[in-house]
Amino acid sequence: MALHIKVSIIAKTVIRMLLIVCIGAALAGCAQKLVCSTKPTFFPPAPDEPHIQYLTGITNSKDVGEKASQSSFSLVVTGNETQEIIRKIGKSFGIVAYKGKLYVAESAGSRVVIIDPVAGTFDYPRGMSTPKGALKEPINLAFDQDGYMYVADTGRKQVVVYNPAGDYAREFSFGIESKIVSVAIYGGKLYALDLGTSRIRVLDRKTGEELSVFGYSETPNQSLRAPGNFAIDSDGAIYVSNIGNNKVMKFDIDGNFLQAVGGAGDQPGQFARPKGVAVDDAKRLYVVDAGLNVVHLFDDKSRLLTFFGWPGLETGSLSLPAGIAVTKDNLQYFQKYAVPGFQLESLIFVVNQFGQNMCIPRISVYGLGEMKK
C-alpha cells in the first residue's frame, strides 16, 4: 500500500497545543473519574483520509486472556489450587515483536514479559529465575537469526543472552563508563548503544569481542550526544534517537554519518525528547517523542507523513511513550478491532511508561492501513 498523508493545518495546530493539553488532562484526571471511550480514533483526523487507527491496549494478562478462550489462558498454580491471577505490566521501556509474540523489557519488575495475544498467554523466560540469568533493570532487547535473545540491562551493566528455550546462555560486560541502553543484531554482529560514552559498540555476537566503535565525529552535528534508542533496517542503515540535539541520526552499517532528521521544537517533524525508533519493511521511520507524547511517522526519504497518539483524546492517547515495535504478524487477529472497511497493513505497538492512567494502557496498539471503498 502506498501511503500518502498530508499534515493538515488542524494537525499543525494540535502539535503546538500538546503540552497545554497534557497539563490540563492531568489536572482534570485529579478532579473527576474518567470513563474510557470505545469510539474508534483515527490519525490523521477528519477531514483528512485516515491511515492509522487506535485498535486496543494491553496492560495485564486479563487483557489477552479475555480475548482468547478460557482453555487457552495461562493459569498460575499456587499450592494445590489453580486460580486465575492477573499479572500486570509494570514500568517498561523496550518492546520487540518476534514470531507472533511481544517481548517487553519491564524494568520495574526486572524481567522480560512475553505476550502471545493470539494464544492468550502472558509468560516470562524461565532462565530469568536462575542466579546467572536474573535481571536487574532490563531496558531493551533484540533477537538474532538463531532465536537468541539479547537483553540490555543497565542494572547489571551487561547484555545478557538467553537461548531459544529461554535459558541463560552468556553475558557481555562493558567498561565502567558504559551504559548500554539498546541492542540490535545485524548479520553476525551485536550493535550496542552506549549512553555512557555516546557511542555504538560493535561486538561479535557469539564471543563478545569488540570489533569497532563509532558515533563520534569532529563535526559536532554528526556526533551522538545522549543517544536513547536505535534501530537497523534491512539494508543496514542505523537510526539513532539523539536526545542531545533532538534529532534522529542516520549512519550506514560501518558507522559513516548519512543524515539527521528533525530538530528541537514543537512543529511537525521536530522533537522535544525522541525515544524509541522503528523502521518498517517500506523503510518508513517511526520516532517516539516522549516530550510531546506522540509518534512521528516519516517516509523513506525522511519526509513527515503524519503523527499520532497526542494527549487529550477520548481514546488512543499516549502517556510518556518509550519503546515501539512494528510488525505484520497477527494481522488477521487484530483485524477484528478495526472498523468495517479499514484494512490493516501492519501493527504498531507503543509502550506507555505512565500507562493505566486516564484510560491509557501500558501497550497501545495501532493499525496502519487504509479505508477500502
**Which among 30-39, 310-319, 339-348 has the top mean pLDDT?**
339-348
Over 60: is that where the pLDDT of 78 sits?
no
Identify the bridge partners of residue 239 per DSSP, sorted by sequence position: 231, 250
Phi and psi at 26, nearest 5°, equal -65, -45
Q: Three-state DSSP class for 336? A: helix
- Amino acid in the structure at residue 205: R
pLDDT per position as a tens digit, 92-150: 999 999 999 999 999 999 999 999 999 999 999 999 999 999 999 999 999 999 999 99
Count of other CB atoms within 10 angstroms of residue 207:
11
pLDDT recorded at residue 359? 83
- CA–CA dist 173, 160 (Å, integer): 9
Question: What helix, strand, coil percent values describe the chain, rounded to 5?
Answer: 10, 40, 45
Q: Three-state DSSP class for 82? A: strand
Over 80: is that where the pLDDT of 251 sits?
yes
Mean pLDDT within 229-245: 97
Strands 81-83, 92-98: pairing kind: unpaired
Mean model confidence pLDDT for the chain: 88
Strands 363-371, 321-327: pairing kind: unpaired
Mean pLDDT within 223-248: 97
Strands 247-251, 180-186: pairing kind: unpaired
What does DSSP assign to residue 109? Answer: T
pLDDT recorded at residue 207? 94
pLDDT recorded at residue 126? 93
